[in-house]
Amino acid sequence: MLLLTIPTNQRGRRHLACAGVTRDLRAATDLYMFAAEGGHAPAQNNLGRLLLANTGREPADTGRALVWLQAAAEQGSTAAWFNMGMCFEWGVGECAVDIDSAQECYWHAAQQGYQAALLRLEQLRSSCMQQQVTNKRASAALGSTGTSLAHATAVLATIALQLLMLVAPCPCSRRRLQ
């Protein structure tokens, strides 16, 4: 079954990238779903990314996206570990901001040589102390309005991540699938 999922994942990628076919998000989602259900880690990661990005077809589904990213990460997908780290770092959708979990996800990806994860890990570690101080000062200054500021920040982070995932190339597209 796994051998059948590799071409399906590649066909899904072509539908997203308009490579020889018309851009069709529904077809891409269906193809990724078929391959992901067959246990293909790159397809699970790609499906997770697609579900995180509000494609206009339906609202972003962060709950399902995280399930697929986790499944891919458990199979050793560095891209999935990195994408989960981004979700935890920015607090996307139902995923609360959790810098410790973000660092853990980035660490798993960095251990496997994923350079972007290593960079994010270093940046998080260097700014973590400063951010904690800033958050405490902001909470003290804002008092009860801190909750609305946190909500606004989470919404902006979700939008930024959705834009990044639509614009940034899929990291796994740089290497040939096995």
The total domain count for the chain is: 1
pLDDT tens profile 115-150: 999 999 888 887 766 666 677 777 676 665 555 666
pLDDT tens profile 71-81: 999 999 999 99
Contact 23, 16 (CB under 8 A): yes
Q: What is the domain range of residue 68?
A: 2-174
- Put residue 107 in one of left, alpha, beta given phi > 0 → left and psi -120 to 50 → alpha: alpha
Query: What is the per-residue burial (b if ≥16 Cβ within 10 Å, else e) of 60-91?
Result: bbbeebbbbbbbbbeeebbbbbbbbbbbbbbb
Close Cβ partners of 170 (under 8 Å, ≥ 6 residues apart): 13, 46, 49, 79
**CATH number of the structural domain spanning residue 64:** 1.25.40.10
pLDDT tens profile 56-74: 556 678 888 999 999 999 9
The pTM score is 0.63
